[in-house]
Structure 1
């Protein structure tokens, strides 16, 4: 009953202010928490105000217009995330970031610290877990179905179906196929057609 009342009173507010927020309707994050811990700091106190999904008030998302993302993915929704997308970041679907994760798409120039280097965007595939306090450096590509261990420094590409850890991050073993049946999820709102194929697959 509480879950339904929570959605009734606060769910419509969350769906209105976060057009790119697609999560299970019940059982993921309580809507009143999203309103008071995320939406109010973002919209009222202007912490990450331009981001179209929930960002925790302790996290920072820079250049959100350069971010594309799928569903079940809200970069910056955990504690102390730093997402810098000057050169672009392409997130797939079903991605979780642990607390303290940094994703940095461009560095400062060595000869002018007020300017950033140019380069290709960071890409992160589907069904990816990035452990706490890890850092993803510019131009890196992470494949589908990957786990990055906590405290890792990812400075080169990581292939699909891998578990990778360390500083620098290296693959330590193959990862089993992703097993969760995402097609059974009842979402907080209608999912765009472009994501339906992903929900039916396990890639």
Structure 2
């Protein structure tokens, strides 16, 4: 039988490389979602993906949404809105979590900075030890350099790096980016992806243009 790739419902897509684990099959929190084939890579199997999503409390309501086919390296941290402190008061110190009567100073949610959901598109590669700050959106096909701190949105098929993160360059020209965003290959069936691996693993504009034309004709 012709293979159509790994089973997206397995924890380890390749049992011989156990440090690679599909994220959606590790998730227990209702405020995190991940698409098929997105993986987290860490040689320490005791490190759960959810441990890399910090300050994430259901009562705040923010979501971490990860698309399909994302590659997330070891040490990446997603800091969520629960990390924020009051900034408009005299002190930013969180007296309320210390107890001993100081909980009387518990702030209303409206008093805390809130950046919204953190959204990672499809086919995004996040290098090791990168930090993604609350409310950031990273577009399809983007690359985040190792050790980057991403504080602002990253457009599709752009590369960001540094601390604070900044856009370094586009991955491809405008025409190819437009074709890829139209193609949305990550939504294809496993059979179609398998049949087109050679094209997906190249940067030949003519081949991509041909695939886009076929998709429009269907």
Q: TM-score, normalised by structure 1?
A: 0.58
Say what the alpha-carbon RMSD is for the aligned residues. Answer: 4.0
For the pair 1:184 / 2:164, whether they are aligned, the reply is no
Match of 2:70 in 1: 95
For the pair 1:72 / 2:37, whether they are aligned, the reply is yes
Is the Cα–Cα contact under 8 Å of residues 158 and 167 in structure 2 kept in the other structure? yes
Q: 1:41-75, CA deviations, whole angstroms, 9 ceiling, x for partnerless residues?
A: xxxxxxxxxx8614xxxxxx7x721012211114x
Q: 1:159 to 1:66 in 2, by over 3 A?
A: same
Any unmatched runs of 5+ in structure 1? Answer: 1-10, 39-50, 55-60, 187-199
Structure with the higher helix share, 1 or 2:
2
Any unmatched runs of 5+ in structure 2? Answer: 1-5, 86-91, 98-105, 187-191, 196-210
Equivalent residue runs for 1:9-158 within 5 Å: 21=9, 28-30=13-15, 33=18, 53-54=25-26, 64-74=29-39, 76-79=40-43, 82-84=52-54, 85-86=56-57, 87-106=62-81, 107-109=83-85, 110-112=92-94, 114=97, 117=112, 118-158=114-154
Output the CA distance in 2 between the equivalents of 1:168 and 1:133.
Answer: 14
Output the CA distance in 2 between the equivalents of 1:152 and 1:129.
Answer: 12
The structure with more radius of gyration: 2
Output the CA distance in 1 between the equivalents of 2:76 and 2:129.
Answer: 5
Is the Cα–Cα contact under 8 Å of residues 135 and 154 in structure 1 kept in the other structure? yes
What is the aligned residue count? 148
Is the Cα–Cα contact under 8 Å of residues 130 and 145 in structure 2 kept in the other structure? yes
Q: 1:84-140, CA deviations, whole angstroms, 9 ceiling, x for partnerless residues?
A: 343210111111111110011121423426388554110111110000110000111
